[in-house]
Amino acid sequence: MNTTILLFLVQDGITNGAIYALLGLALVLVFAVTRVILIPQGEFVTYGALTYATLSAGQVPGTAQLAAVMGIVAFGLDLYLARKSLHAKRILRAFAVNIAFPFAILALTYALAGRHNTIPVNTALSLLIVAAIGLFLYRIAFQPIAHTSVLVLLIASVGCHLAMQGFGLVFFGAEGLRGPAVSNAALTIGPLSFSGQSLAVYGITVAFIVGLWLFFDYTLYGKALRATAVNRLGARLVGIRTSLSGQLAFLLASLIGAISGILIVPITTLYYDTGFLIGLKGFIAAIIGGLISYPITAVAALGVGLVEAFSSFYASNFKEVIVFTLIIPVLVLRSLAAPEVEEEQD
């Protein structure tokens, strides 16, 4: 192997690793706030990427309709929950969030589809659609069982993954899609050439890591979110709205997923079920970080990306095997450093 190949593999590994880092961060974020192991994180990636690609092709993506339907269900749940004290103000609020918001997005999508939109417009619209889905997903699937055990939440999470992957197949078909690049700029340093796309990947990843770290460690609201995860009841007693924290976590996670998807869909062809595998690689990083640490997760994700890049060069047939088997040494290390297991109530 010569230096050029080495550098090329490192660059490839870091670009993929940065995406895994973004997803790993979202997984840690959601777990830290809600104790949900977010298996459907990969679907947010697929939805973001394929919604963007569909919009760029001038069509209306099915995800916009899904968001609207989920909004109706969420509105029904809100009304049912508040049935004993139905104030006009409360109904209006629920209506604004659950009905007006997604239908506005749907209307906008229909209005804009078919025209030659600029890339930022399509990106923004895709993000809006997926963010709405993320928000309603928490409201419908997780908020009613937020107090239960990690295991129960995980089962619900798997259910969401299944349903969303199935819908992905309905909306986008079994064929893969690609989208236009966010940036066509290029930068050459020595033998390496960086596309604007990969530079955008690096920039956004770093921005998110720093942002999340600052948010959770240095702001009152970030600390409130962490408190929710440790002790829901205690957090509620001191006035933290726990359901809102969960919705916020899911909103952020779906945004991060969708951004990752939009960043990679110009680089590789994505299929309706690709996101699952990408998300799982984020999980490997998140597990190395113990599902708590943002910086360790980010570094671990780069490691996963590099291992993947090098194994695709040396043993391309066994690339996935090697990446997923990484979990074993990781678990051994975690097991050696394991604190006593706490008893869980459910």
Partner 1 sequence: MSQRLSILVFALVMAALPLIPEMPPFWIVLLDNIGLSALVAMGLVLLTGVGGLTSFGQAAFCGFGAYTTAVLTTQYGLSPWLSLPASLVVSGVAAVILGVVTVRLSGHYLPLGTLAWGIGLYYLFSKLEFLGRNDGITQIPPLQIGHFKMLDAGTIYYAIWFAVIVSAILTLNLLDSRTGRGIRALRRGHVAAEAFGVKTARAKLLVFVYAAVLAGLSGWLYAHFQRAATPTPFGAQADIEYLFVAVVGGAGYVWGGVLGAAIVVILKEVLQGYLPLIFGGQGQLEIIVFGIMLVALVQFAPSGVWPWLTGLLPLKSRLRRPDTSIALSAPVRAAPPPGPLLRIDNARKQFGGVTAVNNVSFEVGAREILALIGPNGAGKSTTFNLITGVLKATSGTVSFAGQPIIDAPPQAITQLGISRTFQHVKLVPDMTVLENVAIGAHLRGRSGAIASMLRLDRADEARLLAEATRQIERVGLGDQIDQLAGSLSLGQQRIVEIARALCVNPMLLLLDEPAAGLRHMEKQRLATLLRQLRDGGMSVLLVEHDMGFVMDLADRIVVLDFGTRIAEGTPEAIKTNPDVIKAYLGAVA
Which residue lies nearer to partner 1 by CB, 86 or 151?
Answer: 151
- C-alpha count within 13 angstroms, C-beta hemisphere, residue 5: 6
Three-state DSSP at 186 gives strand
| Smaller CB separation from partner 1, 6 or 155 | 155
Query: Which of 76, 114, 159, 234 contacts partner 1 by CB under 8 A?
Result: 159
Number of H helices, E strands in the chain: 15, 2
CB closer to partner 1 out of 240 and 320: 320
- The span from the CA of 216 to the CA of 295, in Å, is 12
The least CB distance from residue 321 to partner 1, in Å, is: 5
Q: Which stretch binds partner 1 (CB under 8 A): 8-16, 97-105, 152-160, 200-208?
A: 152-160
Query: What string of DSSP letters covers 76-122?
Result: HHHHHHTTTS--HHHHHHHHIIIIIHHHHHHHHHHHHTTS---HHHH
Residue 338 near partner 1 by CB under 8 A: yes
Establish if 224 lies at the interface with partner 1 (CB under 8 A). Answer: no
Radius of gyration over every alpha carbon of the chain, rounded to an integer in angstroms: 20
Two structure tokens written together for 236: 């509620």
Interacting residues with partner 1 between 255 and 314 (CB under 8 A): 276-277, 280, 283-284, 287, 291
118 — alpha (psi -120 to 50), left (phi > 0) or beta?
beta
Q: Which range in 155-163, 175-183, 194-202, 248-256 contacts partner 1 by CB under 8 A? A: 155-163
Residues that bind partner 1 (CB under 8 A): 37, 140-141, 144-145, 148-152, 154-156, 158-167, 169-170, 173-174, 276-277, 280, 283-284, 287, 291, 317-318, 320-328, 331-332, 334-335, 338, 341-346
